């Protein structure tokens, strides 16, 4: 397989889906589904390559085709060892990216920091032995850090922030809790079978509070720039929007204009569109919680 260099005006993922790659933890086993290597570059070129190696198509190697400055930018990013990340595969589609908002939070952090990573999809309905051996709790996301597999998106994103400090994503403490209660309120309302139990009102109250925060401090949680709080909240808001729309025919009140604008803004970011699960997988992912 040859590597391909494609002109692009936006950040594009590097590399491939290989259905025949082997697990780095146990080469005798096929990977759970697929291995994806991403090199999120700020340069104007994306390089697609086999999962086992990276090399250039000779047809694009001449300076007349690829400017040295662009290659230098690429080589600087490629010099960073890709972070190994295990995330959820889609329900019923183990070779598609799944609907876990905590996994997306980690991927968003890597994308926003332009950190290369290797993505592996784990079928949580049929967990392979090697996965439960390295991660007994059997949960995702998980990254490999200093030779050890580390779970928990809170811990993982802190590790990424410390190891790759640029651009800084830490949210100021006084703003970090904004929207923090939205997700648990959403889950309670989604699971509720009693329209008079107050779960809808509790969710709307939290959304109104978030709307007021954004009105005063927006466009993002901490102001003009996206921070860790946005990368944590935005996948959860996607789940809220999709799941409540499907299962309850419910939508965020139209008068919460600052919140609606915020959702549109964060969900349009390139990092988000590259790492989000399809709506159908979000719907399928919540089905088992509502049975």
Which residues are designated catalytic? 100
Closest Cα partner for 116 from 14, 243, 211?
Answer: 14
Q: Are 252 and 260 in contact (CB under 8 A)?
A: yes
CB 234 within 8 A of CB 266: yes
Task: Report the candidate in 119, 124, 148, 152 with the shortest Cα–Cα distance to residue 134.
Answer: 148
Q: Could you give the dihedral angle defined by the CA atoms of residues 77, 49, 149 and 121, in that order, rounded to the nearest 10 degrees?
A: 130
Q: Rounded to whole angstroms, how far apart are CA atoms 40 and 73?
A: 11
260-267: long-range contacts, CB 8 A cutoff, minimum separation 24:
261/214, 261/218, 261/219, 262/214, 262/218, 262/219, 262/220, 263/234, 263/237, 265/219, 265/220, 266/220, 266/226, 266/230, 266/233, 266/234, 266/237, 267/234, 267/237, 267/238
Q: Which residue has the tokens 């329900």?
A: 91
């Amino acid at each position: 397989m040859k590597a391909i260099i494609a002109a692009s005006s936006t950040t594009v993922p590097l590399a491939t889906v290989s259905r025949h790659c082997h697990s780095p933890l146990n080469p005798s086993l096929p990977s759970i589904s697929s291995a994806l290597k991403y090199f999120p570059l700020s340069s104007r070129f994306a390089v697609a390559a086999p999962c086992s190696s990276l090399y250039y198509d000779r047809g694009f190697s001449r300076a007349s085709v690829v400017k040295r400055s662009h290659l230098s930018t690429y080589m600087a990013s490629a010099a960073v060892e890709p972070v190994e990340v295990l995330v959820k595969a889609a329900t019923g589609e183990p070779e598609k990216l799944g609907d876990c908002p905590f996994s997306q939070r980690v991927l968003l952090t890597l994308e926003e920091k332009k950190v290369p990573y290797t993505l592996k999809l784990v079928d949580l309905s049929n967990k392979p032995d090697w996965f439960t051996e390295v991660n007994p709790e059997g949960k995702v996301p998980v990254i490999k850090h200093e030779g050890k597999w580390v779970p928990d998106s809170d811990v993982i994103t802190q590790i990424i922030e410390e190891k790759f400090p640029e651009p800084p994503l830490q949210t100021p403490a006084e703003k970090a809790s904004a929207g923090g209660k939205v997700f648990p309120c959403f889950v309670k309302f989604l699971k509720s079978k009693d329209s008079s139990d107050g779960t809808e009102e509790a969710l709307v109250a939290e959304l109104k509070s978030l709307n007021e925060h954004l009105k005063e401090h927006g466009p993002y949680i901490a102001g003009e720039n996206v921070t860790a709080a946005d990368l944590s909240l935005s996948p959860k808001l996607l789940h809220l929007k999709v799941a409540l729309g499907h299962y309850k025919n419910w939508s965020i009140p139209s008068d919460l204009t600052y919140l609606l604008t915020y959702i549109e803004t964060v969900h349009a970011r390139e990092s988000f569109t590259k790492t989000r699960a399809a709506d159908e997988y979000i719907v399928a992912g919540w089905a088992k919680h509502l049975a």
